[in-house]
Amino acid sequence: MDVKSFIKAARLRTLPLSISGIIVGSFLGIKVLNDSLLGDNKMSIITSPIFWLAILTTIGFQVLSNFANDYGDGIKGSDKNRTGEARMVSSGAITPKQMKNAMIVTTIITLIIALLLIYFSFGKENFAYSILFFGLGIASIAAAIKYTVGNSAYGYSGFGDVFVFLFFGLLSVVGSYFLFTKNINLLVFLPAISIGLLSTAVLNLNNLRDRDQDKINSKNTLVVKLGNNNAKIYHYFLILGALVIALSYTYLNFESYYQLLYLIAFIPLVKNIITVSKNTIPAELDGELKKVALSTFLFALIFGITNFIF
């Protein structure tokens, strides 16, 4: 068993994007928690076990999703002659059975970490919340696997965007915020929507790059359904929509102009819009995936830190 092949299948470059929502939700949640505490009792995000367990849980879900995506597309032949990073099952570096076993091990480890997260956050006093978050964990695992695995894989029916928006955006931000505060502030949905839209933009870029190959393999992503030009317009909406929603949150919670520092992260995103609008060769969009993913991560860091401080 080649460890390097499994590391490639885990697609480490996707991990910063996957934890962006956790960063935003945790900073906002800890700020609210600290505002209710006195003196030296204030919590630091660096020393918070809830924060790190949430990060590890999310990474586990992302790696599982990447393994399942590699497995599902591999056995269906969707990754043959693909553009971009090679997939391990389709290339023969990992057998389908080995990948299945890796998915099982990843699921078990992630569930254990998720249970620890639930315990540290809710303890024995909030059993109902514990059951709720355990259910969300199971749903996340099922969603990660069903993206490309099985006859009813929703990634093949154009619903991948909905999954990414809900799990990378709303659940990630609002869920991590709730782990700290034990309540929901409706305004937190605004940055959650921004992270969800930017995360969906990464998927849309991926599908724009792979549109021709996906169409051949009957992988009916939203890009295949919309067509190239409409998918580009959709991409502009995702990025500009994320900007407008983030600015709306800042306006409603304005304390300092330093809160607008996250606009730095939108400079490469605006450049990405220009690149996408001019693109005629889908394969050339491969490098844009990293740009949008890392810009989303940068946005999450700056947005989280500045709203925590001010």
The reported pLDDT for the residue numbered 81 is 57
Percent of the chain with pLDDT over 70: 96
Residue type, 239: I
Identify the CA nearest to 137 among candidates 60, 27, 50. 60
Q: Residue 152: what residue type?
A: S
Q: Would you state the pLDDT for residue 165?
A: 97
Report, as an integer, the average pLDDT of 183-203. 97
User: Beta strands of the chain (E only): which ranges?
Assistant: none
Residue 111 pLDDT > 60: yes
Window from 93-102, 149-158, 284-293 with minimum mean pLDDT = 149-158
In the predicted structure, residue 82 carries a pLDDT above the cut 60: no
Residue 153 pLDDT grade (very low, low, confident, very high; cuts 50, 70, 90): confident
**Cα separation of 26 and 78, whole Å?**
37
**Claim: this prediction has a pTM higher than 0.85:** yes
| Residue 155 burial (CB count, 10 A) | 24
pLDDT at residue 150, as a whole number? 73
Instruction: Note whether 88 and 99 are within 8 A (CB).
Output: yes
The b/e string for 88-125 (b: 16+ C-beta within 10 A; e otherwise) is bbbeebbeeebbbebbeebbeebbebbbebbebbbeee
Range of the domain at 147: 3-309
Give the dihedral sign, CA 55/17/247/241: negative
Residue 72's pLDDT band, with cuts at 50, 70 and 90, is confident
Q: What is the mean pLDDT of residues 73-80?
A: 73
Amino acid at 40: D
Q: Within 13 A of 283's CA, how many CA atoms are on the CB side? A: 6
Specify the pLDDT at position 158.
86
Position 49 confidence tier, pLDDT thresholds 50, 70, 90: very high
Residue 73 confidence (pLDDT) above 80: yes
**Cα–Cα distance, 163 to 155 (Å, whole number):** 9
The Cβ-side half-sphere exposure at 302, using a 13 Å CA radius, reads 18
**Total domain count, the chain:** 1
> Are the C-beta atoms of 188 and 271 separated by less than 8 Å?
no
Give the distance, in angstroms, between the CA of residue 195 and the centroid of all CA atoms in the same chain. 8
* pLDDT for the residue 39: 66
What confidence score (pLDDT) does residue 78 get?
Answer: 64
With a pLDDT cut of 90, the percent of the chain lying above it is: 76
- Does the pLDDT value for residue 104 go beyond 90? yes
Structure-block tokens of residue 247? 């600015």
Task: Using pLDDT thresholds of 50, 70 and 90, give the confidence band for residue 217.
Answer: confident
